[in-house]
Structure 1
Amino acid sequence: MGVLFDYFAAADRPTALDWAIGPGGDWLAEGQSLDEAGADWIDMKGIDPHVVLGQLVAFAEGRPYDVHGTGPELLWPDAREWPPERPAAPGAESPWDSGLHLTELPDAWRDRLAAIEEEHVPMLALQWYDIEEVDFTDFPDCEATIRSFAGLASRARGAGTHLYCRCCV
Structure 2
Amino acid sequence: MYDYYRAADRQAAMVEPDKGRAGSASPAFDAVDAKGIDPGVILGQLVALIRDEPYDLDLMRTVSLYPPPEGGPKSLEEWEALPEDSPYKEGPCIEELPADVRDSLASVPDTQLADLAERWGQIEEFFGRPDEDYLTTLIVELRDLAERAQAEDQMIYCWTCV
- Equivalent pairs counted in the alignment come to 153
Deviation readout 1:73-118 (Å, 9 max, x if unpaired):
2222223222254233xx7953213331111100110011011110
SS at structure 2 position matched to 1:20: coil
Equivalent residue number for residue 60 of structure 1: 50
Indicate the structure with greater helix content.
Answer: 2
Measured in 2, the distance between the counterparts of 1:12 and 1:114 equals 19
Q: Which amino acid aligns with 2:133?
A: P
Instruction: Please list, as runs of the form range in 1=range in 2, the aligned pairs for 1:123-162 lying within 5 A after superposition.
Output: 123-134=115-126, 137-162=130-155
Q: 1:49 aligns with which of 17, 31, 39?
A: 39
- Stretches (4+) displaced over 4 A: none
After superposition, residues 58-137 of structure 1 pair within 5 angstroms as: 58-83=48-73, 85=75, 86=78, 87-88=81-82, 94-134=86-126, 137=130
Query: What is the Cα deviation at residue 16 of structure 1?
Result: 0.6
Q: Distance in 1 between matches of 2:131 and 2:85?
A: 40
| Equivalent residue letter for 1:82 | G
| CA 1:95–1:129: 2 relative to 1, 3 Å | same
Q: Distance in 1 between matches of 2:48 and 2:140?
A: 16
Q: Secondary structure at the match of 1:124?
A: helix
TM-score norm. by structure 2 comes to 0.85
Pairwise CA RMSD of aligned residues?
2.1
- Following the alignment from structure 1 to structure 2, what is the Cα–Cα distance between the partners of residues 101 and 132? 25
- CA shift, 1:160, in A, is 1.2
Query: Unaligned 5+ residue runs, structure 1?
Result: 23-31
Residue 120 of structure 2 aligns with an amino acid whose one-letter code is W
Change in CA separation of 1:92 and 1:132 when aligned onto 2, cut-off 3 Å = closer
Q: Within 2, Cα distance between the matches of 1:58 and 1:92?
A: 36
Paired position in structure 2 for 1:34 = 26
Instruction: Return the letter of the residue paired with 1:5.
Output: Y
TM-score, scaled to structure 1: 0.81
Helix, strand or coil at the partner of 1:146: helix
What is the DSSP-based 3-state SS (H/G/I as helix, E as strand, rest coil) of the residue aligned with 1:42? strand
| Percent of aligned positions that are identical | 35
